[in-house]
Amino acid sequence: SAVISQKPSRDICQRGTSLTIQCQVDSQVTMMFWYRQQPGQSLTLIATANQGSEATYESGFVIDKFPISRPNLTFSTLTVSNMSPEDSSIYLCSVDREETQYFGPGTRLLVL
């Protein structure tokens, strides 16, 4: 199994500001994934983060808006930059291990 923690668990932010979300895994993994789940919607993959290389972003997501760091094999951060109310979502970190996908508890973000 994999134990994933995220910080913060929730936050309320003002538009135009930025928030950095941290994801910590209990053991080393090659790839970490960041998802967004907007209210009432399904999960959408934002990007894949490999240690030692730039993150790979999905269509509709750009590095300037969602910069990602992956300094080691157990940790990653996602920054939501220049926030607007449309960024209000749950942001989830995920890893694959032994053919099973594990998710963190999520960070619930509200932008006013």
Partner 1 sequence: KNQVEQSPQSLIILEGKNCTLQCNYTVSPFSNLRWYKQDTGRGPVSLTIMTFSENTKSNGRYTATLDADTKQSSLHITASQLSDSASYICVPRFSGTYKYIFGTGTRLKVLA
Binding site for partner 1 (CB under 8 A): 4, 31, 33, 41-45, 48, 90, 92, 94, 96, 99-106, 108
Between 14 and 59, whose beta carbon lies closer to partner 1?
Answer: 59
**Closest approach of partner 1 to the CB of residue 94, in Å:** 8
User: What are the tokens at 97?
Assistant: 């291990």
Q: Work out the widest C-alpha separation in the chain, in whole angstroms.
A: 40
Between 47 and 111, whose beta carbon lies closer to partner 1?
Answer: 47
**Closest approach of partner 1 to the CB of residue 28, in Å:** 17
Of 27, 13, 21, the residue nearest 85 (C-alpha): 13
**Closest approach of partner 1 to the CB of residue 103, in Å:** 3
Close Cβ partners of 59 (under 8 Å, ≥ 6 residues apart): none
Cβ contact 107:9 at 8 Å = yes
Between 4 and 68, whose beta carbon lies closer to partner 1?
Answer: 4
Q: Where are the alpha helices (DSSP H) in the chain?
A: none
